[in-house]
């Protein structure tokens, strides 16, 4: 099937080479980081995780969201997802790959990364994150590739793949739960020390991932003969809407607990993010943008007449994607380090090479996604 | 076979590149290294002997140093008893390099020849650095 | 007064074979006497032997430190302590907060005891420098989160770092509630060049986390930690597991505080006020 990725129109190749050039720039910046150290980033003693780990956290959610298609399709036999589910699985493959790359670029001694395997430490959540992420990647490669292969040959998916499909459901939940546990189990980081961290991660994941998927499916619809189908997209939009409402609800719970209890430590993190702390407010505009986009997205998705218009649906999905991205991919990780353990505020600004490395990894993800979607679309066009 | 020519040429180029390390050295005689043990402390030894016998040290010093590292740092055990029953302080900087103070003519001569680059000296100070500064 | 290392180790309680009568003698020593007794660089006593026995019979040693805050008022004292530690361990000074690496430093009461702020407090305490370092917690979160066991708790209570194994994921920095850990954002050797240094202690490399090691390289030889040696009237170092030790005697009579006790980490550094 791979040969389908090698045949395309000029604009397909233009896109591929555009991505490759960004990857090249990002790789160049990574070589610079390798020779100088992580000092090229904006991270510091106080904000010791930055944009890399934030992207990682966000993308684990995108990867986990494939389950929002797998559950209706395989547990409830919702046949309208039959042709779409592969796109969710391929999105998961691209997202997990990006997650792993963001971990690699974030660690100070990448050559020693196998120490996690050589000296396995079951007490460390990071060890389990490594296990579940690699497992999830493997499951999705097996399931995605074999279902597509079966589709191409017009035969039912082989029986041995089924257990992997069912396994992928709890596994998807596990990757984001474990990722939440990275944060939620740390004493002394008030913003993160919350029992709703994992539920909120899952809720925002099940909004952000499908939102990105709808945007991608609308693009596919525009650039190819494959249409995911109105009903499939509308059902997915409803999933996003519910998940986003739960996400916002859980965020409001955080506000209540912090501000009603009046415990300073619990208030400070939220205060820094949404109102500014001791005059430091570099994330305030971002967080309010996120809040406004989130509400806008929910409104557009909640009203059926608006949701059914593809242009407004695209706006809604874009809004939800950005809202959750800012919330989890910017605010959550950086906000957890502010204030620092001494109640001081150190602000974090990513540097140019840091952003280029980040963009480079997103481009690798986009490249993987483009190639996988090209194959999937070609197969769909053939069998249509 | 389709495109037999292209495939065969491609294979030839691939094999050529893969075997580069083998054929690039053909006909070039490179002297085997002779690590020197001519240092003031070793000279003063009545009987020149290392922590273990020479053969063991030649073949197994890397494992030994790794074990010392884990024993000293992780277990807090800093005393090594060798095959001769002697007790030695487990320390790269203070034991090994105390005698072998000629790192460039001892360690480096073999390591360069074998193309290995141990990262010991990223943190540990060489005898020269111990004397003259970092 | 002179004593050999073997005797020190016995007295410090490193070996269970020693009679209980000897264990009371440690705190009678003036700090600084210990190093006079054992200072040769290549010495190697019975410490390893003693520790092996100690492991077999349960922890008999838990190293701890007390900081007499009122004696830190003179900025020269703080400077002397910090310099002693940072020189002994080749800690780099990058001269900017972004790359900063530090093992011991001073901060205000408000910053050191974030949840104990009291606006009506004695003003003299408010302006005192509080020496901050790794707390060598009894239940250390950094050890719990480390994915490679690069940071680990030794049987004698010291939370140690294995710089050979650290992958630089910085999970321990997120996990430490005391801000005790620093990361080598750059090659530390670039700023150590030409500075006063300790030839017998390594540096670190770029991309690993580092912190105070309670001077394991010194206490093994029967020496006091470098900071204690620099200011013996301010800092006291001893065995918390021994009810008769110097630190236990101090803690019995002085009011002491530990940082963020509500987190249950049980720090081994006590502040005397």
Residue numbers in C near A44 (CB within 8 A)? 97-100, 185
Tell if the CB–CB gap between B73 and C194 is shorter than 8 Å.
Answer: no
Percentage with pLDDT > 90 across chain C: 70
Q: Which two three-digit tokens encode residue C63?
A: 């190293």
Chains contacting A (3+ CB pairs below 8 angstroms): C
Residue of C nearest to B79 (CA): C48
pLDDT tens-digit map of B88-123? 999 999 999 999 999 999 999 999 988 899 999 999
Partner residue facing C202 (CB), from B87, B95, B125: B125
Whole-angstrom Cα distance, residue A367 to residue A371?
6
Residue A280 makes CB contacts below 8 A (sequence gap 6+) with A272, A338, A345, A347
Whole-angstrom Cα distance, residue A171 to residue A135?
8
Our count of domains for chain C comes to 1
CA distance B131 to chain C (A): 7
Mutate to test the interface with B, among C5, C6, C46, C48 (most CBs of B within 10 A): C48
Residue numbers in C near B73 (CB within 8 A)? 160, 162, 164
Chains contacting B (3+ CB pairs below 8 angstroms): C
What residue ranges do the domains of chain B occupy? 32-132
Residue C7 has pLDDT above 50, yes or no: no
Residue numbers in C near A113 (CB within 8 A)? 167
Residue A41 has pLDDT above 70, yes or no: yes
Using the Cβ of C95 and the Cβ atoms of chain A, whether some distance falls under 8 Å is answered with no
Phi, psi of A195 (to 5 degrees): -70, -20
Residues A103, A104, A107: CA angle, nearest 5 degrees: 85
Partner residue facing C202 (CB), from B77, B79, B123: B123
CA distance C159 to chain A (A): 16
pLDDT tens-digit map of A176-200? 999 999 999 999 899 999 999 999 9
Q: Mean pLDDT, to the nearest integer, of A283-302?
A: 97
Q: What is the average pLDDT value for chain A, to the nearest integer? A: 94
Whole-angstrom Cα distance, residue B59 to residue C210?
33
Tell if the CB–CB gap between C202 and B93 is shorter than 8 Å.
Answer: yes
What pLDDT score does B31 carry?
82
Q: Mean pLDDT, to the nearest integer, of A25-54?
A: 96
Q: Strand C104-107 to strand C130-133: parallel, antiparallel, or no bridges (unpaired)?
A: antiparallel
pLDDT tens-digit map of A318-366? 999 999 999 998 899 999 999 999 999 999 999 999 999 999 999 999 9
What pLDDT score does B23 carry?
84
Using the Cβ of A187 and the Cβ atoms of chain C, whether some distance falls under 8 Å is answered with yes
Phi, psi of B72 (to 5 degrees): -70, -45
In CATH terms, the fold of domain A11-383 is Formate dehydrogenase/DMSO reductase fold (1.20.1630)
What pLDDT score does C39 carry?
35
Q: Which CATH number covers residue C193?
A: 3.30.70.20
Phi, psi of A43 (to 5 degrees): -70, 155
> What is the widest separation between alpha-carbon atoms in chain A?
64
Asked if the structure places residue C17 within a domain, the reply is no
Q: Mean pLDDT, to the nearest integer, of C230-241?
A: 96
Q: Strand C269-272 to strand C256-257: parallel, antiparallel, or no bridges (unpaired)?
A: antiparallel
Tell if the CB–CB gap between A125 and C150 is shorter than 8 Å.
Answer: no
Whole-angstrom Cα distance, residue C148 to residue B74?
13
- Stretch among B127-131, C46-50, C79-83 having the lowest mean pLDDT: C46-50
Q: Mean pLDDT, to the nearest integer, of C62-69?
A: 96
Asked if the structure places residue C75 within a domain, the reply is yes
Asked if the structure places residue C76 within a domain, the reply is yes
Between residues 263 and 292 of chain A, which touch chain C (CB distance below 8 Å)?
Answer: 264-265
Residue of B nearest to C197 (CA): B133
Tell if the CB–CB gap between B79 and C49 is shorter than 8 Å.
Answer: yes
Residue ranges of chain B whose pLDDT lies below 50: none
Phi, psi of A170 (to 5 degrees): -65, -30
Residue numbers in B near C216 (CB within 8 A)? 76
Tell if the CB–CB gap between C147 and A124 is shorter than 8 Å.
Answer: yes
Residue appearing with tokens 């294979």: B11
Alpha carbon distance, N-terminus to C-terminus of chain C: 32
Partner residue facing B78 (CB), from C44, C162, C199: C44
Answer whether C217's CB lies under 8 Å from C202's CB: no
CA distance C177 to chain A (A): 5
What pLDDT score does C34 carry?
40
Q: Which two three-digit tokens encode residue B101?
A: 């103070």
- SS3 call for A355: helix
Using the Cβ of A186 and the Cβ atoms of chain C, whether some distance falls under 8 Å is answered with yes
CA-wise closest residue to C131 among C181, C187, C69, C75:
C69
Inter-chain contacts counted by CB atoms under 8 A, chains B and C:
65
Name the more confident of C4 and A327.
Answer: A327
What pLDDT score does C27 carry?
35
pLDDT tens-digit map of A255-272? 999 999 999 889 999 999
Residues of chain B whose beta carbon is less than 8 angstroms from a beta carbon of chain C are 69, 73-79, 87-89, 93-95, 98, 119, 122-125, 129-131, 133-134
Residue numbers in A near C115 (CB within 8 A)? 264-265
Using the Cβ of C162 and the Cβ atoms of chain B, whether some distance falls under 8 Å is answered with yes
Residue C17 has pLDDT above 60, yes or no: no
Using the Cβ of C141 and the Cβ atoms of chain A, whether some distance falls under 8 Å is answered with yes
| Long-range CB contact pairs, A144-147, < 8 A, 24+ | A144/A86, A144/A89, A144/A90, A144/A92, A144/A93, A144/A372, A147/A85, A147/A86, A147/A89
CA distance C231 to chain B (A): 26
Q: DSSP assignment, residue A73?
A: I
Partner residue facing A108 (CB), from C97, C145, C207: C207
What pLDDT score does A1 carry?
75
What pLDDT score does B60 carry?
94
Whole-angstrom Cα distance, residue C217 to residue C219?
6
Q: Which two three-digit tokens encode residue A63?
A: 């990867």
pLDDT band at residue C120, thresholds of 50, 70 and 90? confident
Partner residue facing C192 (CB), from B79, B93, B134: B134
Tell if the CB–CB gap between A108 and C173 is shorter than 8 Å.
Answer: no
What pLDDT score does C58 carry?
55
Q: Which two three-digit tokens encode residue C11?
A: 């007295």
Using the Cβ of C156 and the Cβ atoms of chain B, whether some distance falls under 8 Å is answered with yes
pLDDT band at residue A384, thresholds of 50, 70 and 90? low
Tell if the CB–CB gap between A108 and C206 is shorter than 8 Å.
Answer: yes
Whole-angstrom Cα distance, residue A329 to residue A59?
8
Residue of B nearest to C151 (CA): B74
Q: Mean pLDDT, to the nearest integer, of A214-235?
A: 93
pLDDT tens-digit map of C129-159? 999 999 999 999 999 999 999 999 999 999 9
Residue appearing with tokens 């909640």: A302
Instruction: Note down the domain range covering C187.
Output: 63-272
Residue of A nearest to C170 (CA): A48
Residue C174 makes CB contacts below 8 A (sequence gap 6+) with A48, A49, A183, A186, A189, A336, A337, C145
Residue numbers in C near B87 (CB within 8 A)? 44
Asked if the structure places residue C11 within a domain, the reply is no
pLDDT band at residue A98, thresholds of 50, 70 and 90? very high
ipTM, 2 decimals?
Answer: 0.91
């Amino acid at each position: 099937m791979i040969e389908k990725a090698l045949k395309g129109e000029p604009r397909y190749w233009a896109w591929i080479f555009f991505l490759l050039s960004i990857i090249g720039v990002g790789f160049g910046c990574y070589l610079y980081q390798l020779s100088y150290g992580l000092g090229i980033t904006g991270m510091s003693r106080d904000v010791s995780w930055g944009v890399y780990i934030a992207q990682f956290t966000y993308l684990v959610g995108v990867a986990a969201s494939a389950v929002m298609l797998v559950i209706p399709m395989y547990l409830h036999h919702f046949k309208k997802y039959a042709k779409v589910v592969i796109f969710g699985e391929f999105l998961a493959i691209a997202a997990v790959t990006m997650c792993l790359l963001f971990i690699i670029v974030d660690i100070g001694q990448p050559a020693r990364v196998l120490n996690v395997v050589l000296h396995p430490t079951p007490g460390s959540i990071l060890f389990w994150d490594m296990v579940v992420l690699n497992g999830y990647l493997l499951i999705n490669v097996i399931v995605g590739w074999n279902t597509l292969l079966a589709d191409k040959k017009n035969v039912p998916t082989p029986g041995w793949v089924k257990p992997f499909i069912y396994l992928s459901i709890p596994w998807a939940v596990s990757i984001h739960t474990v990722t939440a546990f990275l944060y939620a189990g740390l004493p002394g980081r008030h913003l993160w020390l919350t029992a709703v961290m994992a539920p909120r991660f899952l809720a925002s994941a099940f909004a952000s991932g499908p939102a990105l998927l709808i945007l991608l499916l609308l693009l596919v619809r525009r650039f190819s003969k494959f249409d995911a189908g109105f009903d499939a997209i509308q059902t997915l939009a409803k999933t996003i809407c519910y998940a986003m409402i739960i996400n916002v609800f859980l965020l409001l719970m955080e506000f209540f607990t912090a501000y009603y209890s009046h415990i300073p430590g619990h208030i400070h993190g939220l205060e820094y993010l949404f109102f500014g702390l001791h005059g430091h407010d570099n994330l305030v505009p971002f967080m309010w943008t996120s809040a406004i986009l989130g509400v806008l997205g929910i409104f557009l998705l909640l009203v059926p007449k608006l949701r059914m218009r593809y242009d407004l649906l695209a706006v809604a999905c874009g809004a939800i994607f950005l809202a959750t991205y800012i919330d989890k991919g910017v605010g959550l990780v950086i906000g957890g380090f502010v204030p620092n353990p001494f109640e001081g505020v150190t602000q974090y600004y990513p540097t140019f090479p840091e952003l280029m490395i980040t963009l480079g990894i997103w481009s690798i993800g986009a490249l993987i996604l483009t190639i996988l979607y090209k194959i999937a679309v070609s197969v769909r066009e053939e069998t249509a | 076979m389709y495109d037999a020519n292209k495939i065969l040429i491609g294979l030839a180029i691939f094999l050529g590149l893969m075997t580069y390390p083998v054929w690039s050295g053909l006909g070039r005689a490179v002297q085997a290294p002779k690590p020197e043990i001519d240092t003031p402390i070793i000279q003063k030894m009545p009987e020149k002997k290392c922590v273990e016998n020479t053969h063991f040290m030649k073949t197994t010093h890397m494992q030994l140093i790794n074990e010392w590292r884990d024993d000293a740092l992780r277990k807090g055990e800093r005393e090594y008893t060798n095959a001769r029953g002697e007790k030695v302080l487990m320390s790269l900087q203070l034991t090994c390099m105390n005698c072998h103070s000629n790192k460039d003519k001892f360690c480096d001569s073999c390591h360069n020849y074998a193309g290995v680059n141990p990262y010991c000296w990223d943190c540990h100070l060489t005898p020269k650095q111990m004397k003259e500064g970092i | 007064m002179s004593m050999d290392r073997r005797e020190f180790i016995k007295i410090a309680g490193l070996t269970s074979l020693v009679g209980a009568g000897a264990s009371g003698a440690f705190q009678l020593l003036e700090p600084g006497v210990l190093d006079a007794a054992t200072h040769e660089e290549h010495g190697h006593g019975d410490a390893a032997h003693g520790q092996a026995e100690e492991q077999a019979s349960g922890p008999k040693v838990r190293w701890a430190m007390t900081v007499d805050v009122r004696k830190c008022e003179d900025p020269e004292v703080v400077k002397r302590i910090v310099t002693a530690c940072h020189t002994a361990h080749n800690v780099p000074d990058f001269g900017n907060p972004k790359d900063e690496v530090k093992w011991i430093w001073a901060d205000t009461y408000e910053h050191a005891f974030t949840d104990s702020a009291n606006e009506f407090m004695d003003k003299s305490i408010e302006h005192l420098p509080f020496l901050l370092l790794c707390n060598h917690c009894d239940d250390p979160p950094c050890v719990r989160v480390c994915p490679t066991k690069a940071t680990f708790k030794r049987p004698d209570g010291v939370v140690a770092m294995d710089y050979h194994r650290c992958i630089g994921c910085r999970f321990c920095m997120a996990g430490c509630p005391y801000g005790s850990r620093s990361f080598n954002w750059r090659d530390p050797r670039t700023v150590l060049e030409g500075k006063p240094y300790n030839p017998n202690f390594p540096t670190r490399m770029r991309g690993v986390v580092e912190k105070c090691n309670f001077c394991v390289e010194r206490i093994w030889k029967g020496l006091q930690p470098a900071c204690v040696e620099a200011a013996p009237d301010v800092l006291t170092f001893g065995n918390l597991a021994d009810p008769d030790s110097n630190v236990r005697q101090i803690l019995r009579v002085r009011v002491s505080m530990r940082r963020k006790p509500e987190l249950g980490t049980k720090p081994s550094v006590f502040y005397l006020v």
